[in-house]
Structure 1
Amino acid sequence: MDTRRLGYFVRVVDIGNITRAAESLHITQSALSQHISGLESEFRTRLLERTGRGVTVTGPGRSLYRYAQGILRLEKAARIDLRDGGGSPAGLVTVGLASYSMASGVAIPLLRAVRGRFPAIQLQLIQNLTVVMSQAVLLGQVDMALIYDPGHVKGVAFERMVEEDFHLITGARAPRVTPRGDEVTLRQAAALDFLLPSEVHTVRRITDAAFHTAGLHCSIAAEIEPSMVLREAVVAGLGATILPLSAVRAYFAPDEVRAYRFSDARMRTGMALCTSEVQPLSEPAEVVAGVLRGLVAEVQEGGVRGYRSTDGGS
């Protein structure tokens, strides 16, 4: 199998247009079309459907796309490893990070620590949904992922690292949910409009379940996936959200939000390091995993301090 062709195929899928993909690859459109046709002949199935606007991926094409990403990543890792050599750990290590979680808060410290102590290791950090990340580990597209623990998933192992409670988060300039104190009830929270990720996200599923169990309705003003959009919207007072405090520290400055504990519900979940049960970690990946464990432990020990009091003071 020609991995170059796989790379071309991935680029076409990412861009969705053969002409623009050919331009980005600096080859002719006819040459790129021939490479795609060659792949389709090799696998004896149609991978792309041509449309007036570009191309769409078929079912077999989506499967090949997922495997191609893993194959290309391994090829890149091998090239880096063989190029660098030497005694220190070297190579490409891909780490998945769950969105709306403490993972965002350890990303920069992880990058800083690895660059400072292991300069021959090239980090690739990817943020996505927990379910996507666990499948990416299974397919070999990422070495490891720090994600919300989804429970048993065949083929991957989960090392539970920390457990956290979710809190109600409002903008500091928004009216207080309660006149005094830092605790709220679900009924008080139900009066608010919420900014949350889509229904497949762990944060959303736990939130919906808590309100449903209490016989209450959670009013969703908007579903937001990009974390920076969520941050700006909450600070602007466009709605409340629900997050673990470690994620609050990653996204917000202390004077931008207020955090409330739930007095009558415990929305709690665990963060886990997800790795493959079949494919052992490479030497550089083991090194990165060790650094990541240490950073998570620091977050757990340090807690989250400095966020605006909700007791009627500042």
Structure 2
Amino acid sequence: MNLRQLRYFLAIVDHGGVHRAAEALHIAQSSLSQTMRALERDLGTQLFHRIGRGIVLAPAGEGLVGPARSILREVDNAERAVTEIAALRGGSIDVASLSDLAIDPVSTWIANFLMAYPGVQCRVEEGDDLSAVTEKVRTGSSELGFVSMPALGDLECDELVEQIFVLICPPGSEDRWPNPVPISSLRNESFVLAQQGTGTREYMEQILREHGVEPRIAVEIRQREAILPLVLSGCAVGIVPLRVAVSFWQRGGVVRELDPVPATKIYAVYRQGKLTSAASAFLAAARSSLDLWVRALEMADDAETPLIERAAAALEAWDHRLRS
């Protein structure tokens, strides 16, 4: 029994006879009849009763209809999936991201995606705020957007992960800082903060002011990655995501948890309707990357070990598993 025989069998069932089925299949009636006789020989049973010039289903034929439809449906689904994956050997995907998220984690997700689909080109546009990113998605300039607050209106919005922030301090200042550091105790500190108008800057100012801290700005800078060397130089303190803080700690900086813990959520936004196969694959790669990170962090969980050390161990394990 083969797929062609099953398709011919269902064509006879659906069209009510061999003649009409042969016309629909664009084959000779004799060829269709011969194929059905071969199928009956293979199965060792009669599928149709021949009555005059017509046919009706035999009990065995009635029993075959459901399984035959199921088999062909699964084959069609498999072929469609393979075609979509094959389409990802080339082409491109356009992604929009808040500037604060473009370095991490979005760049990590891109790397994960390109490891699986090296032939696809990724283009990333940055936006300073939610409206800038969502407008790129709304107009079709980008298919996916990544933001740190839920989008409103006509866009779909999927929550991906919660991002924890920590305090980074100059090297050699370990004795100055308890762990965790109460946010309210930062009143007299100078900060390196992201540029005014970015989502992270607005969130940091909000958190500090809620705890009675009016931030004193030593340096205001557009590129978040430049915060690390500035704090390493000793000019001020900063507040960055936990994953970003790992590289700072590995370079000799001091990292402390904050109390209460500042955290934001990262969302994927896209237009309503079915995503392209490339966009679906990109989201799957992002979720896979996040799942590996969360599981690695959970495996490294030890209440007696500082969070930054656990995060460093988790990041190393995550990187190893991602590349294996």
TM bin, normalised by shorter chain, reads 0.5 to 0.7
Does residue 185 of structure 1 match 2:218?
A: no
How far residue 95 of structure 1 moved from its aligned partner, in angstroms, is 2.1
How far residue 234 of structure 1 moved from its aligned partner, in angstroms, is 1.6
Aligned to 1:138: 138
Does residue 100 of structure 1 match 2:95?
A: no
Q: Is the 8 A contact 1:172 1:258 kept in 2?
A: yes
Q: Is the 8 A contact 1:163 1:268 kept in 2?
A: yes
How far residue 97 of structure 1 moved from its aligned partner, in angstroms, is 3.3
How far residue 290 of structure 1 moved from its aligned partner, in angstroms, is 1.0
* 1:97–1:193 distance in 2 versus 1, CA, 3 Å: same
How far residue 120 of structure 1 moved from its aligned partner, in angstroms, is 2.8
Q: Percent identity?
A: 15
List runs of 5+ in structure 2 lacking aligned partners: 1-83, 298-306, 313-324
Q: Is the 8 A contact 1:158 1:272 kept in 2?
A: yes
Amino acid at match of 1:287: A
Moved more, 85-94 or 222-231: 85-94
How far residue 194 of structure 1 moved from its aligned partner, in angstroms, is 0.5
Does residue 272 of structure 1 match 2:267?
A: yes
Aligned to 1:282: 276
Does residue 121 of structure 1 match 2:117?
A: no
Aligned to 2:162: 163
* 1:190–1:104 distance in 2 versus 1, CA, 3 Å: same
* 1:308–1:235 distance in 2 versus 1, CA, 3 Å: farther
Aligned to 1:232: 229
List runs of 5+ in structure 1 lacking aligned partners: 1-84, 310-314
Q: When the two structures are superposed, what TM-score results if normalisation uses the length of structure 1?
A: 0.61
Question: Which of the numbers 251, 254, 259 marks the counterpart of 2:250?
Answer: 254
Give the Cα separation in 1 of the matches to 2:108 and 2:210.
38
Higher relative contact order (CA 8 A, sep 6+): 1
Give the Cα separation in 1 of the matches to 2:283 and 2:243.
19
Moved more, 162-171 or 297-306: 297-306
**Deviations 1:276-310 (Å, cap 9, x if unpaired)?**
22x5422212111211111122223333743899x
Give the Cα separation in 1 of the matches to 2:175 and 2:189.
11
Amino acid at match of 1:235: L
Q: Is the 8 A contact 1:198 1:204 kept in 2?
A: yes
Local SS of the residue matching 2:309? coil
Aligned length: 218
Q: Is the 8 A contact 1:97 1:128 kept in 2?
A: yes
Give the Cα separation in 2 of the matches to 1:194 and 1:220.
5
Give the Cα separation in 1 of the matches to 2:108 and 2:180.
31
* 1:185–1:286 distance in 2 versus 1, CA, 3 Å: same
Give the Cα separation in 2 of the matches to 1:126 and 1:306.
33
Structure with more of its chain in helix, by fraction: 2
Task: Write the mapping of 1:1-314 to structure 2, written as runs, cut at 5 A.
Answer: 87-89=86-88, 90-101=90-101, 104-131=103-130, 132-149=132-149, 151-174=150-173, 176-178=175-177, 181-249=178-246, 252=248, 254-263=250-259, 265-277=260-272, 280-303=274-297, 305-306=308-309
Q: When the two structures are superposed, what TM-score results if normalisation uses the length of structure 2?
A: 0.59
* 1:296–1:222 distance in 2 versus 1, CA, 3 Å: same
Give the Cα separation in 2 of the matches to 1:223 and 1:189.
18
Give the Cα separation in 1 of the matches to 2:100 and 2:176.
22
Give the Cα separation in 2 of the matches to 1:185 and 1:245.
17
How far residue 92 of structure 1 moved from its aligned partner, in angstroms, is 1.0
How far residue 107 of structure 1 moved from its aligned partner, in angstroms, is 4.4
Q: Is the 8 A contact 2:113 2:286 kept in 1?
A: no
Local SS of the residue matching 1:306? helix
Give the Cα separation in 2 of the matches to 1:267 and 1:105.
17
Local SS of the residue matching 1:87? helix
Amino acid at match of 2:112: A
* 1:169–1:285 distance in 2 versus 1, CA, 3 Å: same
Amino acid at match of 2:283: A
How far residue 125 of structure 1 moved from its aligned partner, in angstroms, is 2.8
**Deviations 1:147-195 (Å, cap 9, x if unpaired)?**
212x3422222211111332211132446542xx421122322221011
Q: Is the 8 A contact 1:172 1:308 kept in 2?
A: no
Give the Cα separation in 2 of the matches to 1:308 and 1:157.
31
* 1:224–1:130 distance in 2 versus 1, CA, 3 Å: same
* 1:271–1:86 distance in 2 versus 1, CA, 3 Å: closer
* 1:308–1:166 distance in 2 versus 1, CA, 3 Å: closer
Give the Cα separation in 2 of the matches to 1:215 and 1:112.
40
Of structures 1 and 2, the larger Rg is shown by: 2
Q: Is the 8 A contact 1:254 1:307 kept in 2?
A: no
For the aligned residue pairs, the C-alpha RMSD in angstroms reads: 2.9
Give the Cα separation in 1 of the matches to 2:269 and 2:152.
10
Amino acid at match of 2:294: Q
